Amino acid sequence: MLRPLNHLVRAGCASAPPSVAGPRIPLPAFARPLAALAKPRDPEKPLRPASPWILFLQDFRADQSTKLKAKEVLSEASKKWRGMQAGEKAKYEEPAQALKAKYSEAMKSYKESGKQDAWKRDPERPKKPLTPFFKFMEEQRAAAGNPKEVVEITKSAGLKWKSLSESEKSRYAAGWAEAKEKYAAELQAYKDSGKEAKWEKRVGITALKEKMQVRIASKARTQKAKDANKAKLQKAKAVEKAKKAKETEKAKKAKEAEKVKKAKAAEKAKKAAVRSKAKAKAKV
């Protein structure tokens, strides 16, 4: 029944049946590039174990793979899981609990070894000194009696800090400028030593930066092509507009010329008629 899992089963499975986990909400478009470039996980970090539902889904997939379409498996499995008795679910819940206990122990050892912190932040990187305000915050939090009070202190810290006099603030600002200069020098030495680059390469940040640069360059090329195409279309529109304006003006002038021509012809005909009438009258 049990098979080793490297994750929560292949993509497409939820960690709980649809009735429990709720519908999947796709990432918004703006968040997808960030998700795609997420920092890789530490290969030494223990893998999260499968839940009872996932273990059941594994078996269900194996049994129903030839009978159901892929898109029907999840809904049918969910229906069956909801209808199972407690005794039937125990077949999956008991091994899941054992896997969870094993995972908790492995995770505890992983954290205590310092590997988790070392993956999140290079332990050799100089620590940034606390600003006067954060020194004040630490003091306020240390004086708090319970978590709720800590939350309240955090919310009101800004107001309390503003209410302090310059002499009161100077106690927290003492040594800040020197500590800041020392930190800047140590950070530069750390970067120059190559330790930062080595750590970034080890945890995958260098690869992420390279991917991001490729994406930025690709996006720039795409945008450049779009801008060039847009400029080309705008130029073509401007030429077409100028052409139409020229044709309109030409047609207008032709119409006016025709009008003048007709007026002259009418005037000529009128004069001819007058002369003809005069000649006829003279003969009489």
Question: What average pLDDT does this structure show over 122-151?
Answer: 84
- Return d(Cα 115, Cα 104) in angstroms, integer: 15
pLDDT at 165: 93
pLDDT tens by residue, 152-179 = 777 888 888 999 999 999 999 999 999 9
Least confident of 51-60, 69-78, 100-109: 69-78
Least confident of 19-28, 139-148, 215-224, 256-265: 19-28
Question: What average pLDDT does this structure show over 233-256?
Answer: 94
Give buried/exposed letters for 71-82 (b at 16+ CB in 10 A, else e): eebbeebbeebe
- What type of residue sits at position 100? K
Does the pLDDT value for residue 28 go beyond 60?
no
Could you tell me the pTM of the whole model? 0.53
Q: Is residue 14 a contact partner of residue 178, using CB atoms and an 8 Å limit? A: no
- The fold of the 18-120 domain, in CATH, is DNA Binding (I), subunit A (1.10.30)
Question: What average pLDDT does this structure show over 79-99?
Answer: 93
Does the pLDDT value for residue 101 go beyond 70?
yes
Q: For the chain, where do the domains classified as CATH 1.10.30.10 start and end?
A: 18-120
pLDDT tens by residue, 52-70 = 999 999 999 888 666 788 8
